Amino acid sequence: MISYETFCLNCRDVEERIRQTCVHFGRSYAEVALLPVTKTHPKEAVEYAKRYGFKAVGENRIQEAEDKQMACKDIAIEWEIIGHLQSNKAKRAAESFHRIQSVDTDKLAGKLARGAEEVGRVLPILLQVNAGNDPAKFGTDADAVAALLESVLKMPSLRVDGLMTIAPLDEDMEVARRCFMRLREVRDQLAHSFAVPLKELSMGMSGDLEPAIEAGSTMIRVGTALFGLRS
Ligand SMILES: *Cc1c(COP(=O)(O)O)cnc(C)c1O
């Protein structure tokens, strides 16, 4: 694990990349949040994030996230799930996490809604869209999001904040850029036809945050550039 000092330097570097990209594309720095992704890293990563002033961390696996939450009981921070969630774990997830960014089926949404209802909360979610048509990625197809959104909007224990995507892994940054532009388009269309804000566009990671900001990202999810390589 890197030292807290190194983590701070990494944060400054990433923040500077975000700031310069915002300037370049005429966006406001305040509109682009940074979510530190602590997956595979020990609980110190969560401590660093809290100490630096982040309000949330991202984790991609339920079991690992729950174990880390137990180890971090005394740290007041929000936990967001950004990885694929099996519907048999949805009930637990609806109780334990602040927001689920990876909702991609009606079945999963239904189970999350019931889980949230049972504990009497409204669970914030994002719909994960496979905007890059990548066979290796989860997420609903871009042309099926409308149906999913329509169904989720009927579930009062869920609150849809927006959309999330992961770009296909490709050296050509144009591939990521097209994926992010597509997500933005899909969001704009849905927001218009359903008359809902869908404000959040969670897109961009360590290697592709620039095209994500260009396309309108409101949340960059960064692991490697903050905490170093995952083992
Ligand atoms: C791991 C992960 C990230 C962070 O990726 P880095 O390349 O390490 O910044 C972002 N989003 C999701 C969904 C992830 O699983």
Domains of the chain: 4-227 (3.20.20.10)
Rounded distance from Cα 47 to ligand 1 centre (Å): 19
Compute how many other C-beta atoms are within 10 angstroms of the C-beta atom of residue 88.
9
Distance of alpha carbon 120 from alpha carbon 99, whole angstroms: 15
Residue with tokens 């689920």: 100
Mean per-residue pLDDT, 27-32: 98
Compute how many other C-beta atoms are within 10 angstroms of the C-beta atom of residue 143.
9
The tens digit of pLDDT for each residue in 109-124 reads 999 999 999 999 999 9
Distance of alpha carbon 61 from alpha carbon 64, whole angstroms: 6
Angle, helices 43-52/4-25, rounded to nearest 10 degrees:
60
Does residue 11 carry a pLDDT above 80? yes
CA proximity to 190, closest of 125, 222, 142, 226: 142
Q: Is the CB of 41 under 6 A from ligand 1?
A: no
CB 37 within 8 A of CB 223: yes
Rounded distance from Cα 88 to ligand 1 centre (Å): 23
Any bridge partners for residue 127, and if so which?
A: 103, 163
Give this prediction's pTM. Answer: 0.97
Q: Is the CB of 102 under 6 A from ligand 1?
A: no
Atom of ligand 1 nearest to the CA of 222: 9
Average pLDDT over the chain reads 97
Mean per-residue pLDDT, 136-144: 94
Confidence of residue 60 (pLDDT cuts 50, 70, 90): very high
Does residue 231 carry a pLDDT above 90? no
pLDDT at 230: 86
Compute how many other C-beta atoms are within 10 angstroms of the C-beta atom of residue 78.
14
pLDDT at 27: 98
Q: Is the CB of 137 under 6 A from ligand 1?
A: no
Mean per-residue pLDDT, 144-172: 97
Mean per-residue pLDDT, 59-86: 97
Q: Is the CB of 223 under 6 A from ligand 1?
A: yes
Identify residue 38 by its one-letter amino acid code.
Answer: T
pLDDT at 201: 98
| CA-nearest residue, atom 12 of ligand 1 | 82
| CA-nearest residue, atom 11 of ligand 1 | 221
